[in-house]
Amino acid sequence: MHKEARIGYEVIEARKPFYRILYVQVLIGVMLGVLTGHFWPEFGAALKPFGDGFVKLVKMMIAPIVFCTIVSGINSISDSREVGRTLVKSMALFYLLTVLALLAGLMAVSLIQPGAGMHVSVATLDPSVAAKFTKQAAATGFADFMLHIIPHSFFGAFADGEVLPVLLVSILIAFGLSRAGDQGVAVTKAVASFSHVLFVSFGFIMKLAPLGAFGAMAFTVGRYGVRSIGSLGLLILTFYIACSVFVVVVLGTLARLNGFSLWKTIRYFREELLIVLGTSSSEPALPGALRKLEQLGCRKGVSGLVLPMGYSFNLDGSAIYLTLSSIFIAQACDINLSWGQIAAMLGLMLLTSKGAAGVTGSGFVALVATLTVMPDLPVTAVALLVGIDRFMSEARALTSMISNCVAAITVSLWENACDREVLARELGQSGALQAPAGAGIREATVAEDKSWIATTRSAA
């Protein structure tokens, strides 16, 4: 039944006019937004509510979707130790990628030196710019960060809309259901049914994605304009180069070592990536990415756990931004940092880069949090970056999104929780992927998961 539904869906997609395909509509929305913001800047800036409204609609669905996905996914795993292995492997991979992302930003800014020769006087900078973000970016220690994961109440995790508290509640409920026996069967079925309804409802919301991308891009170009780039254009170029190198070299190597293609993975998630580009936020792409990971053959119990974790622990785009912006400020203000100071800064950024929401401006807030406790760099210097931050947020969100998708597939393969034949077929590769020596292939996901994937596709 699943194959027939899938074939039917693909036939319908093939017959669709190109202008009815979602990623084409989003791309058109982005281009129209750029043109509107450029030629009618005041009108374009006034369209901000369209982008904000779409992101708020999506955020409304994030917490329950993550909860249902993780609960039903973990509950389907017979061996609870697999969850622990998945968490350990995911965190190890996330921190490795974060370290490499920090180094990528450091290398790019050190080689290109976009701030050299600016000779900015700290006394001339406006301290009110940083003051607006200082309270929001109050630096916390590791203990405070861990305590922040625990919500004030069960429903408080959903009310705040933060991924980490929802993740904690989901894992606890999933383990509770796995131990409840027959008493938990009704709850398990209810969660599965509610998950189905959520994804179908989300399909309706995604029809507004072109409008959201149009409004967000029109605001960005209309409010800031290309002229705001000015002399900081080299910094933006440096950042985009660093992100591109990280994606091509680091993520490309990771994908190649695990037997799948980075480029075909990017193409497979093109709709989600275009939405991220248009809205400057990775959150609207989370539900769609979860669905597509299952279509790639990844078990929901693993991919549904890794991807939401990555939204807080694997923000590689923000990590690149942190080192690049910090060293740029040092170059612009003629501050010489020793290698010891740089090493201490990198260690601090391993903490400040975690836990930030995948929304517009989170990287800037993390930068303020870093500089607040760095006596060597003036926090007031973030005023240099305010005018161009919006142009850098797209690259931050795109880099983090690609990294999280690759990481989710990689961990699924490590856990033998991904059907390599399905992965190869979905990515359009010829032949089955070659599994590493000793790696086994698990059974395909349960029929219930397959049926809701087909239903969700037809609804979307």
From the list 186, 184, 205, 177, the residue with the least C-alpha distance to 62 is 205
Closest C-alpha among 380, 225, 224, 242 to residue 322:
242
Measured between alpha carbons, how far is residue 224 from residues 277, 283, 362, 368 in Å? Answer: 17, 23, 18, 21
| Helix pair 389-414, 270-279: axis angle to 10 deg | 150
Residue-level pLDDT at 110: 92
- Look at the chain and count its residues: 460
Residues 422 and 444: beta-carbon distance below 8 Å: yes
Q: Say whether 418 sits in a helix, a strand or coil.
A: strand
* Domains of the chain, start order: 2-459 (1.10.3860.10)
How confident is the model over 264-289, as a mean pLDDT? 87
> Distance between CA atoms of 117 and 129, rounded to whole angstroms?
23
- Tokens of residue 330, six digits: 């040092």
135 confidence band (pLDDT: 50, 70, 90): low
Distance CA 91, CA 87 (A): 6
Please report the pLDDT score of residue 432 as a whole number.
43
> What is the Cα–Cα distance from 13 to 23, expressed in whole angstroms?
12
Q: The tokens of 214 are what? A: 């149009």
In whole angstroms, what separates CA 12 from the centre of its chain?
30
Q: Token match 């995790």: residue?
A: 157
pLDDT tens by residue, 170-226: 888 888 887 777 788 888 888 888 888 888 888 888 888 888 888 888 887 887 676
| The token pair that represents 320 in the structure block | 């690149």
pLDDT (tens digit per residue) in 63-119: 888 888 888 877 776 666 777 888 889 989 999 999 999 999 999 999 998 888 878
